[in-house]
Amino acid sequence: MLVKLASINKENSLESAKSMLDEKVIYDLTTFTHLDYPDHLACIVWFSGCNMRCDYCYNSDIVFAKNGKYSYQYVLEFLKSRQDLLDGVVLSGGEASTHRLIEFCIEIKKLGFKIKLDTNGLNPLHVAQLIKLNLLNFVALDYKAPKEKFTQITHSKKYDEFSKTLNLLIYSNIEHEVRTTLHSDLLDVEDINKIIEDLKQRGYKNTYYIQNFIDTQSTIASLKEPINKFEKNKLCTDIKIIWR
Q: What ranges do the domains of the chain cover?
A: 23-243
Pairing of strands 42-47, 88-93: parallel
Instruction: Please give the pLDDT value at position 218.
Output: 83
Taking only the tens place, the pLDDT of each residue in 103-129 is 999 999 999 999 999 999 999 999 999
Contact 150, 106 (CB under 8 A): no
pLDDT < 50 positions in the chain: 5, 8-10, 12
CA distance 139 to 114: 11
Angle at 92 between CA 67 and CA 244, to 5 degrees: 140
The string of pLDDT tens digits covering residues 126-171 is 999 999 999 999 999 999 999 999 999 999 999 999 999 999 999 9
pTM for this predicted structure: 0.92
Whole-number pLDDT of residue 14: 52
- CATH T-level topology, domain 23-243: TIM Barrel (3.20.20)
3-state SS class at 134: coil
The pLDDT value given to residue 9:
47
Q: How far apart are CA 82 and CA 42, in angstroms?
A: 10
